[in-house]
Structure 1
Amino acid sequence: MAVLAGALALAAFTAPAAEAADTGITVSEVVVNNGKPIVVGTSETKNPSVSFHMTWTSKHSMPDVEVSPFLYRGTSAAKAADSGGIYLGGLTCYDAGTHAADCDGELYLRPRNDLDSTADATTWKLGAAARLWGSDGQPKTEYLNALSTARIQRAARATVNAAPEPVAKGKTLTVTGKLTRANWATHTYTGYGSKLAKLQFRKAGTSTYSTVKTVRANSAGALKTTVKASADGYWRYTFGETSTTGGATAAGDYVDVK
């Protein structure tokens, strides 16, 4: 078993790049974040998982054989290694036969450092720096392109407020709320304008929400609609994910109907 710690993984990318070479290392069976989108807010560090199988043809053995995967945008992994990407936080590799290993680890994603704009909410490629370390301490390096992909999404939030509380049965309830999502340029949550959200109701004493109507947010992400009060229960707004943004559901707001 060989363990590649986060500091070593990062150092591998900050060290002077060796001349590219055919290392004979292959990488397959790559899975990033268990195949799910990586939903990122404005400040919280994310550690999406990464796993893969690697083989090599040389007489080297671990830990002289190293694969350091990273997420990148652009035309090639080699160019991204110079311009920046989302790198390893740590990696553990286990022998899986002669000249083969299975590896599990995690990437280290800091939105304030790694994501610059909303354009980063897209599909990223996963590449890797494959290295053979010689007895002279010098690496033979090969950059592997597009081994897999991972979608990075903007985290979103939803709020709700139903008023008045309490309310007489049959009277009008006004249900307001707001939809926001992470803006990586400003490091704040900003209005998710024109987004459709479902207004849902769960009657007190039950466990299931039902959709009452669909409401479109205004340009600032604000929601507002009216309904007739019929029974005690909880109101909430919810919406599903898109290609660029994760879904969100507000905590239910309880209304007592007299």
Structure 2
Amino acid sequence: MRIRATVAAVSGALALSALAVPAAQADDAASRADIAKIREAAQDSGRSAGTRAPGDGQPYTLNATFSNFKIATAVKVGTTNHVSTKVSFTMTHGADVDVTASDFYTDPYLYKGSFDSPDNMLFGNNYAKCTPASSTKANCTGTIDFYPADSELINSDAGSWKAGAMAIAFNGEDPDGETFDITKVGYKDQGGLASTLVQRYSKQTVNASPEPVKKGKPITVTGKLSRANWEDNKYHGYTNQPVKLQFRKKGSDTYSTVKTIKTNSTGELKTTVTASTDGYFRYNFAGTSTTPAVVAAGDFVDVQ
């Protein structure tokens, strides 16, 4: 399985060599390590270099650009479950680029931080699949896969990520062969194609008591707002966050906000209201850039 691409000690391209070959890849497909060799060589002249001519132990710049990258607005990632989100993009390329070749690969990814020196990068389990739309354009689809239990993410990774894509044409060259000539390999990498939020999955509970309760008596409504911790794979309280207490009268479909309170140092919520009529209480958290919105299921109180 893949591991977090730590780039404090190595460059972005070198960090990618830590990615293992996904199990779903065919035996004769280029491994992530093979492609990392190309990325690393290209890094010598900058990942975003406009043109690289063959020579000097580097791949040449493949005549390809990426656009129309689409990804979910936000991806919610918990503590253990594998999460996969679909992506699509358009690749425009030279007429001499054969996107249907068995040794042509294109790979969408997400990166945190700057393009040239990312803090973290995440890829899909498999390379993207492209369908030619013309002799110079292809429509591509793939996934970005998240494995929070495998130390791919730390809590500070939550928030905004950017999308990139790369393409490699081996042109018949075998990266593990004795006669491998990297200068005959084409490579293109492009960032800033889109953005998304990678968020720490959240949970919200509620409990209104006593039940039943006499009209005019106090009702205590407790609850807890928690979110995924990617470093210990547990859920912890989300502190000092505003949460709305809402009420829906029995027979109605609409909730109204009663008051807004903040979570305490452990994410707990507690407040009191006066019993007036049968209905449902719930807590509603609006969310932040790092943590998605979440609403507790309503807890019914019978007022007598």
TM-score, normalised relative to structure 2:
0.76
Give SS of 1:201's match: strand
> Once the 2 structures are TM-superposed, how far is the Cα of residue 84 of structure 1 from its aligned partner?
5.8
1:44-84 deviation per Cα after TM superposition (whole angstroms, max 9, x unaligned): 2111111100011141322234321111224336x65xx86
Asked if 1:85 corresponds to 2:121, the answer is yes
Asked if 1:14 corresponds to 2:60, the answer is no
Letter in 2 for 1:214: T
Asked if 1:223 corresponds to 2:259, the answer is no
For the 8 Å contact 1:28–1:53, the answer to whether it is kept is yes
> Where does residue 69 of structure 1 map in the other structure?
108
The alignment-based identity, stated in percent, is 40
* 1:220–1:84 distance in 2 versus 1, CA, 3 Å: closer
For the 8 Å contact 2:208–2:219, the answer to whether it is kept is yes
> Where does residue 78 of structure 2 map in the other structure?
41
> Where does residue 113 of structure 1 map in the other structure?
150
> Where does residue 17 of structure 2 map in the other structure?
none
Give SS of 1:76's match: coil
Tell me, in whole angstroms, the C-alpha distance in 1 between the residues paired with 2:234 and 2:173. 49
Tell me, in whole angstroms, the C-alpha distance in 1 between the residues paired with 2:170 and 2:252. 62
Tell me, in whole angstroms, the C-alpha distance in 2 between the residues paired with 1:76 and 1:160. 42
Tell me, in whole angstroms, the C-alpha distance in 2 between the residues paired with 1:11 and 1:86. 18
**Equivalences for 1:191-202 in 2 at 5 Å?**
191-202=237-248
Asked if 1:28 corresponds to 2:67, the answer is yes
For the 8 Å contact 2:281–2:300, the answer to whether it is kept is yes
Please list every run of 5 or more consecutive structure 1 residues that lacks an aligned counterpart in the other structure: none
Which structure has more strand as a fraction of its residues?
1
> Once the 2 structures are TM-superposed, how far is the Cα of residue 30 of structure 1 from its aligned partner?
0.6
> Once the 2 structures are TM-superposed, how far is the Cα of residue 114 of structure 1 from its aligned partner?
5.2
TM-score, normalised relative to structure 1:
0.88
Tell me, in whole angstroms, the C-alpha distance in 2 between the residues paired with 1:207 and 1:11. 55
Give SS of 2:140's match: strand
Please list every run of 5 or more consecutive structure 2 residues that lacks an aligned counterpart in the other structure: 1-22, 43-59, 176-184
Tell me, in whole angstroms, the C-alpha distance in 2 between the residues paired with 1:176 and 1:167. 16
> Once the 2 structures are TM-superposed, how far is the Cα of residue 100 of structure 1 from its aligned partner?
1.1
Of stretches 231-240 and 65-74 in structure 1, the one that deviates more from structure 2 is 65-74
> Once the 2 structures are TM-superposed, how far is the Cα of residue 208 of structure 1 from its aligned partner?
1.0
Tell me, in whole angstroms, the C-alpha distance in 2 between the residues paired with 1:154 and 1:13. 27
> Once the 2 structures are TM-superposed, how far is the Cα of residue 37 of structure 1 from its aligned partner?
1.1
Asked if 1:134 corresponds to 2:186, the answer is no
1:158-182 deviation per Cα after TM superposition (whole angstroms, max 9, x unaligned): 1011110100111110011111111
Structure with the bigger RCO (C-alpha within 8 Å, sep 6+) is 1
RMSD: 2.1
Of stretches 98-107 and 86-95 in structure 1, the one that deviates more from structure 2 is 86-95
Aligned pair count reads 248
> Where does residue 123 of structure 1 map in the other structure?
160
Tell me, in whole angstroms, the C-alpha distance in 1 between the residues paired with 2:223 and 2:187. 53
For the 8 Å contact 1:48–1:108, the answer to whether it is kept is yes
Tell me, in whole angstroms, the C-alpha distance in 2 between the residues paired with 1:114 and 1:130. 27
Letter in 2 for 1:178: K
Give SS of 2:61's match: coil
Give SS of 1:112's match: helix
